[in-house]
Chains A and B, each alone.
Chain A
Amino acid sequence: GESVGLHLPTLSVQEGDNSIINCAYSNSASDYFIWYKQESGKGPQFIIDIRSNMDKRQGQRVTVLLNKTVKHLSLQIAATQPGDSAVYFCAEFSWDYKLSFGAGTTVTVRA
């Protein structure tokens, strides 16, 4: 079946640098994607979303890029801070009201 996956399970970033987290999806019919951040002991927190009629969307310090040709999604975090240390998930929302999550990327920010 269709799945949403992340390229790397872990990412170590120097504080102040930019982070890029990647995600590949397989369902070409997918039209809505969400990035979530999960800190230890908490539920996933909505970061940013994007629909398939867009290539790029920006939020506060975050940018999501969508490449429908290669079915690739990425999350860019500008000027990474210690508070950005968490597990990041991409999720695909399907027509049947279900979010399908990737395995997650653990981001560690080095001081």
Chain B
Amino acid sequence: KAGVTQTPRYLIKTRGQQVTLSCSPISGHRSVSWYQQTPGQGLQFLFEYFSETQRNKGNFPGRFSGRQFSNSRSEMNVSTLELGDSALYLCASSSDRNYGYTFGSGTRLTVV
């Protein structure tokens, strides 16, 4: 059974640019969550989607957005990138019945 797949693995962007990250959940999982991981703030919740609906959003500025498609794949977008957006962005999926979220390996975003 394939795990959670995130693409790309690494990304370097310039301040002011925008970026889109992709996540393919485990087959059959309809809940997808995104987290930002930094050395200073640890793991911070960004948002959660279920059946194309955002059920919760973390305390991040509006530059951070996401969506989920009908096949449960999800994307997150960060516009007007800032140096502080450099982080590991993690996607996790769950069947939403047992709450056992499985994480992908993440996308390492570096903003220069």
Contacts and interface: CB of A to CB of B under 8 A. Distances in A.
Interface residues of B, number: 22
Contacts of B33: 97-99
A98 B101 contact: no
Contact of B101 (A34, A102, A103): A34
B95 to A, nearest CB: 13
Nearest to B103: A43
Contact of B43 (A32, A93, A101): A101
Interface stretch (A15-23, A44-52, A64-72, A76-84): A44-52
Contacts of A46: 100-103
Contacts, number: 54
Nearest to B4: A43
B64 interface: no
A99 B45 contact: yes
Ranked 5 nearest A-B pairs via Cβ: A43-B103, A101-B43, A97-B48, A96-B56, A98-B45
